Amino acid sequence: MSKINEALRLIRVLHGTKVKDLSEKIKISAGYISDIENGNKKPSVDIIEKYAEFFETTPSALWFFSEELDSKRGPFKNAIRNQMLLLLQALEDKTIGKNGKQDI
């Protein structure tokens, strides 16, 4: 199973973009973006293309990133990947205020 949902969330967090701001720019409701990023809905190819355009990358790069999140490689590469994910998740946690909303 692909982790495209997590890849989309992490690229948004990495760029410090609020769900609301992304929603306005790519013309998709904030609730729907949250559902996608939380894994409750599967993103369409069109949505992946909109993310790619907004974050100035390619859809294939997003797919590759999601495959890397899901890969089962050697222990060294897994350890590095897991540390990167922890770092990105810590960054995300830091951007969440006490009210449960993103501060950035």
Q: What is the pLDDT of residues 39-60, one digit of tens each?
A: 999 999 999 999 999 999 999 9
Residue 63 clears pLDDT 80, i.e. is over it: yes
* Per-residue three-class SS string for the chain: CCCHHHHHHHHHHHCCCCHHHHHHHHCCCHHHHHHHHCCCCCCCHHHHHHHHHHCCCCHHHHHHHHHHHHCCCCHHHHHHHHHHHHHHHHHHHHHECCCCCECC
Task: State the pLDDT at residue 42.
Answer: 95
Q: Write the pLDDT tens digit of every residue in 5-38.
A: 989 998 998 889 999 999 999 999 999 999 999 9
Q: Say yes or no: domain 4-95 is CATH 1.10.260.40.
A: yes
pTM: 0.70
Where do the structural domains in the chain lie, given as residue ranges?
4-95
pLDDT value of residue 2 = 61
> What six digits make up the tokens of 17?
């973009």
More confident residue, 85 or 33: 33
Nearest to 48, CA basis, from 93, 16, 12, 92:
12
Q: Which of 2-6, 18-22, 87-91 has the lowest mean pLDDT?
A: 87-91
Confidence grade of residue 103 (pLDDT, cut at 50, 70, 90) = very low
